[in-house]
Structure 1
Amino acid sequence: MTAERAGKVVADVPKELLVGGAWRAPATGRRFAVEDPATGETLCEVADGGTDDARAALDAAVAAQPGWGRTPPRERGEILRRSFELIMSRQDDLALLMTLEMGKPLAESRAEIAYAAEFFRWFAEEAVRVDGGYAVAPDGASRLLVMRQPVGPSVLVTPWNFPMAMGTRKIGPAVAAGCTMVLKPAHQTPLCSLALAAILAEAGLPDGVLNVVTTTSPGEVIEPLLRDGRVRKLSFTGSTGVGRTLLEQSAGQVVRTSMELGGNAPFLVFDDADLDAAVDGAMLAKMRNIGEACTAANRFYVQSGVAAEFGERLAARMAALRSGHGADDGVQVGPLIDAKARQKVQSLVDDALGRGAKALVGGEAPEGPGYFYPPTVLVDVPREAELAETEIFGPVAPITPFDTEEEALAAANDTEFGLVGYVFTQDVTRALRVAESLETGMVGLNRGVVSTPAAPFGGIKQSGLGREGGRLGIEEFLEVKYVAIGGL
């Protein structure tokens, strides 16, 4: 990476709010800095919107909804298809932008850009497949017509850890269904969302369909929208705590919600597992996105007969990873998002070590600029350690041995969360039995990654409501209307 190229990539991104098709300065007059987490240096400043800006964005979305809802499905799909092609044609620049503001290595950023674009391609195809139904009533006296229509103006709130993919995963189905939007990206990583909005406009998305409000005061922006009465849908990805607050705020106007919340993923390795495959899967499930993912393996339960060997193999793989600025060649582990995130990880590790766990590798944050934390493997982690109950969101793999399948399942399900679980075994009947018994919305069976635009992503318990992606993803943005037809 050259400083000149990095500067150009950042400079090319709009820095203002997008309201009604126009890039405009915030009514607050405020701006905030976007930081490179690898250096702590400021990349640029962007608009810091407030309540008046949010209302203006909603006004634009409401005004655009009638016309957009009547737009032919094929036309909506073609906008998404063109956006997909534009994203892929700019994959390298968008990947560098993501690495600069979020920290992940370039290889992972390129992979996320491709993954993000796929949501637009998938929902471009789903736009023309929204259907309904027609039936004769059981008594023969009437006909039953069922139609699906856009739910209406939607508020989309996205996190910082997958700054492009979380945007396309929400915008794609909303566009396909015919809904207008107000998007509030995370303040740590607003540049990818702003770049994405510019691409959609270039692809022909009409003014006012997508509005973007960047802010450091999410409560000042989101709560008034949810209480406004014109918002009909909230799609949120973030922590369970914030999700609960937004559900309370949505209740007054009975806003339809979908929530992709926190995780505490168990990773189960049985003694008959292919250990090579299990270690490979662990590296993906733990180290993808520097461990800053709701799907990251958070608790490793390994059967006693293979626990020591698994831990040694995983530690060797983790120790071999190269840390550094994500834009540099050969770097495999970038920084965490900010100082608060790094302090949380260190606190969880310290607690586990204080309770008797041992670090096979890592365990202590390095000195120097940036928010780096070393890949860490802890063994003999007691189940009362804080990280057994807390989403780590960092490159730490805590390993706890177990003896029986029943013991493993009890430990895996002993959490309020239920997003994803991972199972490694070569016994087919055990695989199906454990997959059915895990209290999660998704299961990776002999596989360390579950995410794909073609599958329904989401959790149970306090990991969320609804599903994103797959054939169910567009349903979150559609209402069902039943028409009873008489006089026949």
Structure 2
Amino acid sequence: MTDIERLVHEEWTAVEADRRITISDPADGCELFAVPVARPASVDAAVGAARSAAAAWARTPAGERAAAVHRAADAVAARADDLARLTTLEMGKPLGDARGGVDAGVGTLRQYAELGPVHRGRSLNGEVGATDLMVYESRGVVAAITPWNDPVAVSCGLIGAALVTGNTVVYKPSERTPATGWLLARILSEHLPEGVLTLLLGDGEVGARLVDAGVDVVAHVGSTATGRAIARACAGTGTKVLLENGGNDPLIIDADVDPEWAAEQAALGAFANAGQICVAVERIYVHEAVAEPFLAALVARARSLRTGPGTEPATQLGPLVDRRMRDHVHGHVAQAVAAGAKLLTGGEVPEGPGSFYPATVLTHCTDDMAVLREETFGPVAPVAVVATFDEALERACQGEYGLAASVLTRDLAHATRAWRELPVGTVKVNNVFGGAPGGAAHPRRASGQGYGYGPELLDEMTQTKVVHLATPPS
């Protein structure tokens, strides 16, 4: 086990801490790092440093801020293999997927570096003889609280958008992937003035202290429970809140699609990153006309996945992030089976070290089961067979979440009805993943609030001011 301070460079000084969190490899249970948990005074000091640097960074020309973020993106790209390996060690995803997340983060940093200087206000039509403007200004200090399931990509998005719009950032990565967050922050901060990006490591107590420490924006990607706690805290202070939280994303499979192709899409959506994706397929409604061959193909695909440590090149299904997550996932599956669901494959906790869980397919699922009603966040594909497209759409529209949904159909009318009626921020037709890089959606209901991506995130990170310039009388 290695102290995280010496993980990247032996000259790093130790962080003062009263306690530490131990991070274990989810593939074999071996202890990896001892992570120092920030003291309350350290949280206040980080926010104070960010506050002290905020005015100067906001006055820095937008082109200079963008150039700094471009340099930071190049530095992240140069350390992509190191960041990917840390991600895999800490949370288990296959190394290729982890590298893809780093590459996405680099692309996002570059996107915001390009968009920052052209994020401008507009002139307004006022009275003759006067000039009226609407201008964007930075908000101040942004607390970026990020998740473990895609730690580099999400962090780069929030940090990049905040920096190019003139905000300083206090960055708290998930306590499940602190080494990845630590290395990312060190890489980025080398290309920024002192205090513009500060790092805090720790658990939920540190995050709660940060939310209450007088920041101007809290941008959180993570669980709905944590997001709701943040929203309650910020409601009392007036702090701006951006939340992308849990999802319970449905997949509708129409009667006119190729069932084997549909099974490939369902498997990708349910099993990628061991189901630990905010927009993973969490519940499947398949038309009875294609249900039998679809289920056969889905089961075959689930059984064909190669399970193993994420560091092994052949691995297609890595472990869950830890055994606490595995207990949660297996609890949903066991409850469903006890309530009448039929287990077609998987569903058993394997013996041996680590936190592995098999790709699991359930059928005869009903909407009162937790596996269809709540976010499972594991490699589980719960299936409900429906008699009509109307039934599938009605059931897909139910629930408290509103993050994303997918529809597989050859019927344009069905596709149009689905994207219009589904109460979610993102609808994908004939693809469970994908989309243009600039897409920005509002998550709905328990899934959050505010734009989390795209050019619109720059609007969230700024505040507008209307200026009326009139000439004095002669």
Provide the TM-score with structure 2 as the length reference: 0.95
Distance 1:451 1:401, change over 3 A: same
- In the TM superposition, what are the counterparts of 1:170-181 in structure 2 within 5 Å? 170-181=158-169
**Quick one: which of 4, 13, 22 aligns to 2:8?**
13
**Contact preservation (8 Å) 1:28, 1:50:** yes
**Quick one: which of 180, 195, 218 aligns to 1:208?**
195
User: 2: CA distance between counterparts of 1:193 and 1:291?
Assistant: 22
**Quick one: which of 101, 115, 129 aligns to 2:104?**
115
Counterpart position of 1:20: none
User: 2: CA distance between counterparts of 1:313 and 1:49?
Assistant: 49
**Contact preservation (8 Å) 2:5, 2:15:** no
SS in 1 for 2:18: coil
1:399 aligns with 2:386: no
Query: How far is 1:89 from its partner?
Result: 2.4
**Quick one: which of 354, 363, 381 aligns to 1:379?**
363
Task: Give the number of aligned pairs.
Answer: 472
Query: How far is 1:168 from its partner?
Result: 0.6
Query: How far is 1:284 from its partner?
Result: 2.1
Query: How far is 1:327 from its partner?
Result: 0.3
Letter of the 1:39 partner, please give it. Answer: D
1:158 aligns with 2:153: no
User: 1: CA distance between counterparts of 2:129 and 2:408?
Assistant: 56
Query: How far is 1:12 from its partner?
Result: 4.2
Query: How far is 1:336 from its partner?
Result: 0.6
**Quick one: which of 422, 430, 438 aligns to 1:446?**
430
Query: How far is 1:330 from its partner?
Result: 0.3
User: 2: CA distance between counterparts of 1:266 and 1:297?
Assistant: 6
Counterpart position of 2:44: 55
- In the TM superposition, what are the counterparts of 1:169-318 in structure 2 within 5 Å? 169-202=157-190, 204-216=191-203, 218-219=204-205, 221-229=206-214, 231-318=215-302
Counterpart position of 1:144: 132
- In the TM superposition, what are the counterparts of 1:402-481 in structure 2 within 5 Å? 402-450=386-434, 453-481=437-465
**Contact preservation (8 Å) 1:9, 1:93:** no
Query: How far is 1:194 from its partner?
Result: 0.9
Query: How far is 1:314 from its partner?
Result: 0.9
**Contact preservation (8 Å) 1:304, 1:403:** yes
- In the TM superposition, what are the counterparts of 1:3-152 in structure 2 within 5 Å? 12-13=7-8, 25-137=14-126, 139-140=127-128, 142-152=130-140
Distance 1:369 1:433, change over 3 A: same
Query: How far is 1:15 from its partner?
Result: 9.7
Letter of the 1:315 partner, please give it. Answer: V
**Contact preservation (8 Å) 1:149, 1:480:** yes
Query: How far is 1:27 from its partner?
Result: 4.2
Letter of the 1:282 partner, please give it. Answer: A
SS in 2 for 1:429: helix
SS in 2 for 1:314: helix
Counterpart position of 1:19: none
Query: How far is 1:87 from its partner?
Result: 2.1
SS in 1 for 2:383: strand
SS in 2 for 1:400: strand
Query: How far is 1:458 from its partner?
Result: 4.3
**Contact preservation (8 Å) 2:3, 2:33:** no
**Contact preservation (8 Å) 2:151, 2:181:** yes
**Contact preservation (8 Å) 2:36, 2:201:** yes
**Contact preservation (8 Å) 1:227, 1:252:** no
Distance 1:122 1:386, change over 3 A: same
User: 2: CA distance between counterparts of 1:81 and 1:235?
Assistant: 22
Structure 2 regions of 5+ residues with no counterpart? none
Letter of the 2:208 partner, please give it. Answer: E
Task: Return 404-413 or 273-282, whichever deviates more.
Answer: 273-282
User: 2: CA distance between counterparts of 1:250 and 1:15?
Assistant: 39
Distance 1:172 1:342, change over 3 A: same
User: 2: CA distance between counterparts of 1:83 and 1:441?
Assistant: 31
User: 2: CA distance between counterparts of 1:432 and 1:281?
Assistant: 20
Task: Return 364-373 or 282-291, whichever deviates more.
Answer: 282-291
Deviation track 1:6-60 (CA, whole Å, cap 9, x = no partner) reads 99999543699xxxxxx66444333222211111111121221121110000010
Deviation track 1:368-396 (CA, whole Å, cap 9, x = no partner) reads 00000000111121222121111011000
User: 2: CA distance between counterparts of 1:215 and 1:15?
Assistant: 21
**Contact preservation (8 Å) 1:277, 1:446:** no
**Contact preservation (8 Å) 2:246, 2:375:** yes
SS in 2 for 1:399: strand
Distance 1:15 1:430, change over 3 A: farther
Letter of the 1:222 partner, please give it. Answer: G
SS in 2 for 1:192: helix
SS in 1 for 2:56: helix
Provide the TM-score with structure 1 as the length reference: 0.92
User: 2: CA distance between counterparts of 1:180 and 1:224?
Assistant: 18
Structure 1 regions of 5+ residues with no counterpart? 1-5, 17-22
User: 1: CA distance between counterparts of 2:138 and 2:195?
Assistant: 16
SS in 1 for 2:38: coil
**Contact preservation (8 Å) 2:83, 2:184:** no
SS in 1 for 2:17: coil
Give the root-mean-square deviation of aligned CA atoms: 2.1
SS in 2 for 1:234: strand
Distance 1:320 1:161, change over 3 A: same
Deviation track 1:71-123 (CA, whole Å, cap 9, x = no partner) reads 11112112222222222222222211110011001111111111111110110
Counterpart position of 1:324: 308
Query: How far is 1:267 from its partner?
Result: 0.5
**Contact preservation (8 Å) 2:4, 2:33:** no
Query: How far is 1:279 from its partner?
Result: 2.2
User: 2: CA distance between counterparts of 1:208 and 1:459?
Assistant: 31
**Contact preservation (8 Å) 2:3, 2:35:** no
Query: How far is 1:145 from its partner?
Result: 1.0
Distance 1:117 1:9, change over 3 A: farther
**Contact preservation (8 Å) 2:2, 2:33:** no
Task: Return 63-72 or 427-436, whichever deviates more.
Answer: 427-436
